Amino acid sequence: MIPPRACDCHLHVYDPRFPYVDGAVLRPAPATVEQYRALQARLGLTRAVVVQPSSYGADNRCTLDAVRQLGVHARAVVAATEHTTDQELLQMHESGARGVRFNLARGAPIDLASIASIGARIAPLGWHLQLHAPSAFYAESQRFLEGLAVPIVIDHLARVPMPGGLLDAGFLTVCKLLRSGKVWVKLSGAYFESAIGSPSYADAGEVVRAYSTIAPSRLVWGTDWPHPSATAGERPVPDDAVLLDRLCEWLDPARRAQVLVENPAALYGF
């Protein structure tokens, strides 16, 4: 069922060797590379993209160390600010970084100028911008997103509210952006907004099927392991095997291979 070279495009590593940034809202228990390898083996996954969590701010040491441990089958999405130098960006590229993430989902100030500036600076590296934001952000920012200098990867189904997600203004905007080829969408976080919940996540499945009908070549998938918002008690902790089973149920075999193998290879340079 799971094709060879399948990629988990969204996971976090929390290693106690690296301290959380002052004021971090989420402070999960350790979730190390060794623990993640056990999940990889359980799910039959090969490739991995380690995404910088908000708990570490712009200190990317833990994320890049995780990529080093995972080896040639791993990539990183890091954090960057106006204080990040071009030399630091180049060094992170050589360490496996392929994108910069802005997490706008926890009340962080939305600084469009900073997002655009970072986008322009990472364009020569062939990187992308990854955005985690409420659905309304995409509806309000379509013109801004269309004008960015780099591709955009949208986290967690664009956090489309459910039920009724197929009528949501943010969802409809993301569909337009998918048709234009401007964005990618991560089919991760089905458990975030689902009103139905486990094990079917049927309302999230409707959103996944809609995206896959519009632009199957612009979709990737991830576990969101170790589910930091869920382990903090904000929502039930999902079973990663169930999440992967649902993806396989929602996509036919050809699109499954696109989402799990071909698209990640194109986006992250595997």
The strand ranges marked E within 94-237 are 97-103, 128-132, 152-154, 183-186, 219-220
Residue 108: predicted pLDDT:
67
Cα separation, 215 vs 222, whole angstroms? 17
Residue 107: predicted pLDDT:
63
Residue 234: predicted pLDDT:
74
**Domain range annotation of the chain:** 7-268
Nearest CA to 184 out of 157, 224, 148 is that of 157
Nearest CA to 154 out of 182, 178, 184, 127 is that of 184
Report whether 260 contacts 3 (CB < 8 A).
yes
Joined together, the tokens standing for residue 119 give 């986008």
- Phi and psi torsions of 9, nearest 5°: -90, 10
Asked if the 7-268 domain carries CATH number 3.20.20.70, the reply is no
Compute CA 205 distance to the chain's CA centroid, rounded to the nearest angstrom: 17
Residue 23: predicted pLDDT:
86
Q: Which DSSP symbol is given to 99?
A: E
Nearest CA to 263 out of 184, 209, 177 is that of 184
Residue 230: predicted pLDDT:
78
Cα separation, 212 vs 219, whole angstroms? 7
Residue 232: predicted pLDDT:
64
Cα separation, 8 vs 264, whole angstroms? 9
Sheet of 128-132, strands arranged across: 7-11, 47-51, 74-78, 97-103, 128-132, 152-154, 183-186, 219-220
Q: What is the pLDDT along the chain (270 residues), one digit of tens a residue?
A: 799 999 999 999 999 999 999 988 889 999 999 999 999 999 999 999 999 999 999 999 999 999 999 999 999 999 999 999 999 999 999 999 999 999 998 766 778 999 999 999 999 999 999 999 999 999 999 999 999 999 999 999 999 999 999 999 999 999 999 999 999 999 999 999 999 999 999 999 999 999 999 999 999 999 999 999 877 677 788 999 999 999 999 999 999 999 999 999 999 999
